[in-house]
Structure 1
Amino acid sequence: MDWDDYRLLLSIARSRGLPGAASELGVSVSTVFRRLEKIEEERAQRLFTRARQDYVPTEIGIELVRVAESIETEVQRGERAISGRDQQLTGTLRVTASEVIANYFLARHIPDFRTRHPQLSMEILSGNSIFSLEDQTADIALRPVRPTDVNLVGRKVAELHWGRYCSASPQGAAEGRESDRELEEIIGYSSGPISIQEKLLGRATSKHSEVFWRSNSLVTNAAIAQASRSTALLPCILGESWPGLRCVEAPIPEVAGELWIVCHKDMHRTARIRAFFDFVIETARSDPFLRLPDDGSRPG
């Protein structure tokens, strides 16, 4: 079997079917079916059992998938070794970040990076999923936690402060309450690190407050707060820049986090990686929404 055969088996196993494997490999479903049928015929072995729509590896299939994963790891290591010695500020740089960091930090500064390095193109992978730096889905990650993987290197670039925000209109949450005895509606965050969720909920459930809303999107929470009488617990980089919100309290010390820029250790000497690291570190130091002033004044 060559690498293409192993890659086919790996794609089928990961997608648990032919359509997903065909999409990943860029071929038709019938092509995947014929290639799998040929591999099984040549070895007189059934490598997958068909359970309804799923393709489940047999015992021998599991062993071959493990071999395929090992080969894939070595191929990726070789590619990183080559890419890691690339000293040209050209090509594509793939950066992954949460929706908040992508929209309210990167989006404001990427045009300046483009001006400095016109030969580099950018691909931003935005979302709350953690994209892998091991399989080169992304080159660089901006994450709200310190990296623990020994294969990753990173730098802390800023503190991530949190605060309480409500609608800036006269009918907003804080101003709309008739008295301190009226229950304050809190918008909770149901995603992210469990430690952050627990601290947020602990902060929210005071004597005169209760969590009435929850979502897995901080952007959604900001929109709800702006349109309702509820109070949202938000990163200050989002709350300070969202139109129609005003700060009730910030920062909240017990919910402080960190912003890290991370890459694979095989890639950190690449010119384009170093250039983006330097740019993000420099930019974060002066970003008004990452560093709240001590005198209580708000960014404009």
Structure 2
Amino acid sequence: MGHGIDALTWEDIRLVGAIAETGSLPEAAARLGTHHSTVFRRLRQVEANTGFPIFEREGQRLAPTGLGEEVVALAERIGTDVNATALRMAGREEQPSGELRVATADSLLIHLLTPIFADFQEACPDVRLDIVVSNRALNLSRRDADIAIRASDAPPETLVGRRLARISWALYGRTGEDGQDTPPMDRRTWVALGDGMADMKVARHAEEHAPPGLLRYRVDTVLGLAAAVEAGLGIGHLPCFIGDGRPHLRRLAPPEPAFATDLWLLTHEDLRRAARVRIFSDFVAGAIRAKAALIEGTGHHR
């Protein structure tokens, strides 16, 4: 290794600059995101490599020595150049544009995501959204879609993403059915999700707990289930963001924790750093957080 100024790396010079600006090892460590003992050890190594002391103590603060001032000046010049270059590069950073294929379920699209997508399009008009509506899991590795927004307790390990919220489910019936002719709960007819969604606990619940002969309608979509309850075909469990949002439905019981599922935003590892994927993911995550009470069933309901 060389001896003198030519032995210093950019990290060494950055360290000297931080100590000079703060006058304190602990404060320099905080600025650099490390421990003050690490800063002390590295400073001793820098001084050993250059062959002269860079700082001396003046009262409670560290001040550069005569030779140290040369290193501090070098740190200031390099820091200025680095910051200027970073700003120029940021100004030329790729702007989000192009097509983004987003897969989601019909119930999420209609009752939750469409207004969010509209706000995103206004904020990022150069990104074209291509929405794929399907209740089956798509293969993002085959580029069936770039992003999937799904309810799942076990997202595929081949995908990366973030959990957006916890979707709560509650039992709903049609409003205005509280008159004398309304049968008691153990004599009401039920509606439920069909065999295509039998892997969900909520779908199995109606099959296992509805009174004998009173499960009279099954359908393979959550939107179809909500329509059935609203039409008076029977009572049934629905996501709270759907049930609470329909004026002709009302809750018959609190949300059932056992039926809750996580809402995920997922993408392929190779796409996660793409500008359009990154900005879309951040935008949707923020919008979903603002609707957490509705999704998790803790907001106002009838």
Aligned-pair CA distance for 1:256: 0.9
For residue 103 of structure 2, what is the amino acid of its counterpart? T
Q: Is the 8 A contact 2:167 2:239 kept in 1?
A: yes
Distance 1:229 1:188, change over 3 A: closer
State how far apart, in whole Å, the 2-side matches of 1:100 and 1:281 are: 18
State how far apart, in whole Å, the 2-side matches of 1:192 and 1:180 are: 28
Q: Is the 8 A contact 2:153 2:261 kept in 1?
A: no
State how far apart, in whole Å, the 2-side matches of 1:126 and 1:154 are: 19
State how far apart, in whole Å, the 2-side matches of 1:116 and 1:275 are: 10
Segments of 4+ in structure 1 off by > 2 A? 146-151, 174-182, 195-207, 291-294
Unaligned ranges ≥5, structure 2: 1-92
1:112-160 superposed Cα distances (whole Å, 9 cap, x missing partner): 1111111111111112122220111200001111455333101110001
Question: Secondary structure at the residue paired with 1:124?
Answer: strand
Question: Secondary structure at the residue paired with 1:298?
Answer: coil
Unaligned ranges ≥5, structure 1: 1-85
The reply on whether 1:264 has 2:252 as its aligned counterpart is: no
Question: Secondary structure at the residue paired with 1:109?
Answer: helix
The reply on whether 1:138 has 2:142 as its aligned counterpart is: no
Aligned to 1:125: 132
State how far apart, in whole Å, the 2-side matches of 1:224 and 1:176 are: 22
Aligned to 1:152: 159
Percentage identity across aligned positions? 25
Distance 1:198 1:181, change over 3 A: closer
Question: Secondary structure at the residue paired with 2:139?
Answer: coil
State how far apart, in whole Å, the 2-side matches of 1:204 and 1:240 are: 23
Q: Is the 8 A contact 2:160 2:269 kept in 1?
A: yes
State how far apart, in whole Å, the 2-side matches of 1:201 and 1:88 are: 49
Aligned to 2:52: none
1:168-220 superposed Cα distances (whole Å, 9 cap, x missing partner): 1x3x3x6575453761111111233614245533674369x942211101111
Q: Is the 8 A contact 1:167 1:229 kept in 2?
A: no
Distance 1:286 1:178, change over 3 A: same
1:202-251 superposed Cα distances (whole Å, 9 cap, x missing partner): 674369x9422111011111111111151121111111122421221231
Aligned to 1:222: 226
For residue 98 of structure 2, what is the amino acid of its counterpart? G
1:47-196 mapped onto 2 (5 Å cutoff):
87-146=94-153, 148-168=155-175, 170=176, 172=177, 175=179, 178-180=182-184, 183-190=187-194, 191-192=196-197, 194-196=199-201
Question: Secondary structure at the residue paired with 1:249?
Answer: coil
Aligned-pair CA distance for 1:87: 4.0
For residue 150 of structure 1, what is the amino acid of its counterpart? E
Aligned to 1:286: 290
State how far apart, in whole Å, the 2-side matches of 1:175 and 1:265 are: 56
Alignment equivalent of 1:205, drawn from 204, 207, 210:
210
State how far apart, in whole Å, the 2-side matches of 1:181 and 1:261 are: 37
Question: Secondary structure at the residue paired with 1:246?
Answer: strand
TM-score by length of 2: 0.62
Distance 1:177 1:154, change over 3 A: farther
